[in-house]
Structure 1
Amino acid sequence: MANEQTTKLAVLIDADNTQPSIADGLLAEVAKYGTAHVKRAYGDWTGTQLKSWKEQLLTQSIQPIQQFSYTSGKNATDSAMIIDAMDLLYSGRFDGFCIVSSDSDFTRLAARIRESGLIVYGFGERKTPEPFVAACDKFIYTEILAGKPDEEQPLKPRPPAQLKKDGGLINLLRNAIDAASDDEGWAGLGGVGSIITKQRPNFDSRSYGYGKLSDLIAAIDLFELDRRSPGEGRPKAIYVRNKKKPVARG
């Protein structure tokens, strides 16, 4: 698999099912995972329904793909997007796909792309059906990406006391740390994050109000963090382990 700097991605947007206000945040998020060599948005551009998308097409250099609404509903748009995705997959030019929709119709597409050994990043609203979320390697909720001041504000960080009461979160972190740890219990944060994503594709520390996984773990205060320098001029690597329980004395 290519590294993040050279990873070639195809970004396919279901414009009928996605708000144009997330375009800036969406492409900024995509840039974290690779380079968008293809950016396409699908819908019926002859009508007025997608009028607010048209400015984003120009600003973000997104190619509109026309699909006439032959019947009511979005099936025609979905089919066109799926056919295009398969054509791009068979071209062998890409390392991964970004599928932007909250529609469960793309569940099988995501699974098929992954079967070919490519990575799939899904983007959709929190209403996205669980099967589509689970079919992706990683799923990012678009509510997190709404970045304009007049829209939804970033989530406030949850207080440590509330985080500690979230048994599902604590168990997820503990188990991932245990799975990635060495003999002394230390685990590289990157490995921990990778395990968490495999278990829960929609996990995102920003959902708890923290920009990074390390910030979330530090706030919980049930884990030890250690920043180590791998060598001169290289960024420090973060390691984490579960805090040892105090030994009871009789």
Structure 2
Amino acid sequence: MDQDPQAARAPNRRIALLIDADNVSHTNIAAMLAELSKYGTANIRRAYGDWGADGLKGWRGKLHEFAIRPIQQFSYSAGKNATDIALVIDAMELLYTQKPDAFCIASSDADFTPLVMQLKANGHDVYGFGERKTPAPFVNACTTFLYLDSLEVAAPAGTPKPPKAAKKSDDKPAKLPIAQDAKLIEVLRGAVEAAMYDDGWASMSAAGSTAKRQAPIDPRNYGVKNFPALFEATGVFDIVKADNGQTYVADKRNKDRTDKPAI
């Protein structure tokens, strides 16, 4: 989640953080809260699960440490996940009662996609955290989505890195090289076109913000730190830093652009 204009008003924005503890590791909570602090204060923090289950033992010590309210949800039927329903009900209740400025859904479950779409339809930003296996519909529905393995670069200094879990061949699909990611390049090209001046150049900050409005793009999900590095890695843009300190980007296909931005 790269910094954007809304971060300027971040201290006054109230965020409801709703965690599907069955699908998110407790080792990520410090980094998630640090990331959300760019956009506001997560003053509503709830984690959902069956807290008597062995699989959530690691979470129990984190609840008090990070002031997270545990929401107990029993599994009423074998093989059925009732946690999802409890989280959705709470989100809708919060929408009309506590009225937070934004929501954050931490899960890798695509079943939350309709919830995200409903919250956005009501005018709220929805930030998402999840694993690489998170289905595309949920990722694309969020205002911004950040893969949990990308949070290592965002964690505060001194935060211990979580132990790496054993890799499963079907859990984490191979990343497409940036220069071959046609969908990403299409979004970035559209962002430059929308943000460019008459000379064919767009400021990097405007192009990055425009790209994020089109799709839940965070450069760290692609293994780079920021939008300048992301645009450069595609190999299809020219990037220059002007004397005024601003960075500008232009599509190499645009033959009508000037050689340099007219500042």
TM-score by length of 1: 0.81
The residue type paired with residue 65 of structure 2 is T
Question: What are the Cα deviations for residues 169-205 of structure 1, in whole angstroms up to 9, with x where unaligned?
Answer: 433322211111111122233332233223332x221
Asked whether 1:57 is paired with 2:72, we answer no
Instruction: Note if contact 1:10-1:98 (Cα within 8 Å) is conserved in structure 2.
Output: yes
Q: 1:163 to 1:132 in 2, by over 3 A?
A: closer
Q: Partners of 1:37 and 1:243 in 2: how far apart? A: 45
Instruction: Note if contact 1:228-1:239 (Cα within 8 Å) is conserved in structure 2.
Output: no
Q: Partners of 2:243 and 2:15 in 1: how far apart? A: 32
Secondary structure of 1:89's partner?
Answer: helix
Asked whether 1:174 is paired with 2:189, we answer yes
Aligned residues: CA RMSD: 2.7
Q: Partners of 1:124 and 1:186 in 2: how far apart? A: 35
Secondary structure of 1:5's partner?
Answer: helix
Question: What are the Cα deviations for residues 206-226 of structure 1, in whole angstroms up to 9, with x where unaligned?
Answer: 133211112233455632233
Secondary structure of 2:62's partner?
Answer: helix
Structure 1 unaligned spans of 5+: 153-157, 230-235
Corresponding residue to 1:101 among 104, 107, 132:
107
Instruction: Note if contact 2:16-2:42 (Cα within 8 Å) is conserved in structure 1.
Output: yes
Question: What residue number does 2:40 align with?
Answer: 34
Instruction: Note if contact 1:16-1:74 (Cα within 8 Å) is conserved in structure 2.
Output: no
1:12 is displaced (CA, Å) by: 0.1
Instruction: Note if contact 1:14-1:78 (Cα within 8 Å) is conserved in structure 2.
Output: yes
Asked whether 1:212 is paired with 2:226, we answer yes
Question: What residue number does 1:4 align with?
Answer: 10
1:9 is displaced (CA, Å) by: 0.5
Instruction: Note if contact 2:239-2:247 (Cα within 8 Å) is conserved in structure 1.
Output: no
Secondary structure of 2:224's partner?
Answer: coil
Instruction: Note if contact 1:96-1:119 (Cα within 8 Å) is conserved in structure 2.
Output: yes
Instruction: Note if contact 2:179-2:233 (Cα within 8 Å) is conserved in structure 1.
Output: no
Q: Partners of 1:73 and 1:225 in 2: how far apart? A: 55
Question: What residue number does 2:126 align with?
Answer: 120
Q: Partners of 2:63 and 2:214 in 1: how far apart? A: 35
Residues 1-250 of structure 1 aligned to structure 2 (within 5 Å): 3-73=9-79, 75-91=81-97, 93-146=99-152, 148=161, 150-151=163-164, 163-201=178-216, 203-220=217-234, 222-226=237-241, 229=244, 237-243=246-252
The residue type paired with residue 196 of structure 1 is A
Q: Partners of 1:149 and 1:218 in 2: how far apart? A: 31
Q: Choose 11-20 or 186-195, whichever is displaced more.
A: 186-195
Q: 1:169 to 1:129 in 2, by over 3 A?
A: closer
Question: What residue number does 1:155 align with?
Answer: none
Structure 2 unaligned spans of 5+: 1-5, 156-160, 166-174, 257-263
Question: What are the Cα deviations for residues 231-250 of structure 1, in whole angstroms up to 9, with x where unaligned?
Answer: xxxxx654322357789xxx
1:74 is displaced (CA, Å) by: 5.0
Instruction: Note if contact 2:16-2:100 (Cα within 8 Å) is conserved in structure 1.
Output: yes
Question: What residue number does 2:259 align with?
Answer: none
